[in-house]
Amino acid sequence: MVKIFTLSISLLIFAQLNTLQQDSTSKKSDSLNTRKLNSELDKVSQLSAERLSDSLKRSELERRVSNLGDKDRIEKNMLMQELSLLRKKDSVHLSRQLAQIDSLRGVIKASPVRFASDTLFNIYARLGSFSAADRARAVSERLERIGDLGGFSADSLRLSNAEQSTDLIYGGTLILSITDQDALWARKDRNAYAKEISEKIAESLKKYRMDNSWRVLLREILLTFLVIGVVIGLIYLINKLFGKLSGRFLSAESRLGKGIKIKNYELLDPSRQLGALKVLIRVIRYLVILLVVYLAFPVLFGIFPFTRDLSENLLNYILSPLKKIGTSVWDYVPNLMTILVLLAVFRYVIKFVRFLKTEIERGKLTIPGFYKDWANPTYQIARVLILAFMLIVIFPYLPGSDSGIFKGVSVFIGVLFTFGSAGALGNVVAGLVLTYMRAFKIGDRVKIGEVTGDIIEKTLLVTRVRTIQNEVVSIPNSAVMNNHTVNYSIEAKEKGLIVNTTVTIGYDVPWRTVHQLLIDAALATELIEAEPAPYVLQTSLDDYYVSYRLNAHTHSPNRQAVIYSALHANIQDEFNRAGVEIMSPHYKALRDGNATTIPQDYLPGDYIAPRFRTESEENKKETKN
């Protein structure tokens, strides 16, 4: 856990440093772009300065030519040639300047001049120390001041031509200075462009004055009350409509059927289904009312000129996301179609692999060296690999898959999954190895470590064993791999399982008698096979007894406990009937004067335990005499 936490912190720090590095790189890139852009703008300004200088020279030459008489024809011709060169040079500079402006047109951001919620024109060029944005802001403020004065007169708006610019003046207020660069950005002559701007401003000021007259305001107020009344009426109709709809559902409760069921699980009974429908109708009603009220605001704000910007913004709050979503969905359609085709292809590939698995399990398809019980795990492995390959193929077509955040989160989740599931993956691998080892199958009697029982479940993670005490023991597959496994069932059907037990008999009993008694006990036991015949091995010669191991075959390994119990009972019966004592308890007694250890049921009716006999030398002599 500590390793995972440390790794998570390291990844987060790395991601943060990477983000900071990207931000720094982005800022450096922006700075370089700004410097490059300023350099291009300086070139345009330099060309304008050169054109201005040439224009002044041309004016001076034209003045000198006009002052020369017919006598100074030679000098006049020289000046005319110089004028021609200046005009050609100006034409070249103009072409270069237009080319520079065209190259910057998609890069330079326009600064709009706005008045009364309308964009009149755009400014691109700077003037002295004032940027294009500063110029546009200053013009907008001047127009607002003129509009607030009232009593606008178009005759007071005039143009004043200067050497470097054309000034637009209203009364004594300078509104705007239009330069050659401004005209070049509009691809027009300076005087024509100045006249066009003057007409737009005059028209906008007239419209502003008309929109703010008392008659217009009265009409706008009446329209406002009309819109409010329509909204109230719509809300009333919506409430009435949804009320009737809810009443119909209430009266149709008996016709709702048996509710909603998913197989045998009842998700919603009829009463809950009716309640859910009522809640859904109520939510839809509130959403419709909210939508009507929201759409009414743009209509209300659109009535008044000074709030039309707010009206457009409110509409854009809805339309812009919808437009983006629609555009994104439309642009994503080709990728979506590709994903659908890939899903269909991989679906049929998995179906084909499943078909092969089914045929192998049924025995219709046989592959040398490939067992039937391998079919399902092999299918599961192939299915996982096919799905993983499908995800790899589909991943580039997912929306946002190329973003850095998406990739970083994917890597982070993958690392967490790898470290967090190390133990589980070990069990899965062990489960696969056990499957292909064929160490056991469902129903086999096995001994895993200290656990003995029947296999009842075998998964990729655990193996479950039911003991003879009916206990279910879950053993992780990794633990199964690390322990030795004894399978009692794997050879039981063909060769049979050998059950064995050991008894100890005293040296006073002939070993052939013991062998026969043990074999008879085995043959008398149910589930013990007569063929191959049971046999006995003498495993040790101890101090007081001989150890005999009885071996017998059975084809029922799952019933070992019953077989051993019956076998031990039969051994006791056989030995007791034959009058042979089993010495396993290690009896230490004087035989004379002690009763035999054979159970009372197997002794004769007149059996009496012998007494102790003692003899002396005198008694022996008397007996001899």
pLDDT value, residue 232 = 92
Residue 437's SS3 state is: helix
Angle between helices 422-437 and 404-420 (to 10 degrees): 60
pLDDT value, residue 538 = 95
Write the pLDDT tens digit of every residue in 30-57: 454 455 555 555 665 665 666 666 666 6
pLDDT value, residue 593 = 54
Sheet arrangement for strand 165-170: 157-161, 165-170, 173-179
One-character DSSP codes across 545-585: EEEEEEEEEES-GGGHHHHHHHHHHHHHHHHHHTT--B-TT
Query: Which residues of the chain fall short of a pLDDT of 70?
Result: 1-62, 65, 69-72, 74, 76-77, 89-95, 97-98, 106, 148-152, 211-216, 249-261, 263, 265-266, 305-306, 308, 416-423, 584-600, 602, 609-625
Beta carbons of 556 and 506 less than 8 angstroms apart? no
What is this structure's pTM?
0.47
pLDDT value, residue 552 = 94
Q: Which residues contact 233 (CB under 8 A, 6 or more apart)?
A: none
R_g of the chain, CA atoms, integer Å: 53
In angstroms, rounded to a whole number, what is the distance separating the alpha carbons of residues 33 and 39?
10
470-475 long-range Cβ contacts below 8 angstroms, 24+ apart: 475/448, 475/449, 475/451
One-character DSSP codes across 18-76: HHHHHHHHHHHHHHHHHHHHHHHHHHHHHHHHHHHHHHHHHHHHHHHHHH--GGGHHHH
In angstroms, rounded to a whole number, what is the distance separating the alpha carbons of residues 168 and 148?
19
Tokens of 432: 């696969």
pLDDT value, residue 215 = 66
pLDDT value, residue 51 = 61
pLDDT value, residue 620 = 53
- The secondary structure of residue 389, as a DSSP letter, is H
Closest CA to 195 of 216, 166, 222, 171: 166
Task: Tell me the residue type at 563.
Answer: I
pLDDT value, residue 543 = 83
Sign of CA dihedral 370, 372, 374, 380: positive
Within 10 angstroms of residue 124's Cβ, the number of other Cβ atoms is 21
Q: Which residues contact 440 (CB under 8 A, 6 or more apart)?
A: 434, 446, 455, 458, 485, 487, 489, 490
pLDDT value, residue 473 = 93
Q: Pairing state of beta strands 445-448 and 485-487?
A: antiparallel
Sign of CA dihedral 237, 239, 244, 249: positive
Write the pLDDT tens digit of every residue in 319-366: 888 888 888 888 888 999 999 999 999 999 999 999 998 888 888 888
Residue written as tokens 């190329």?
Answer: 402
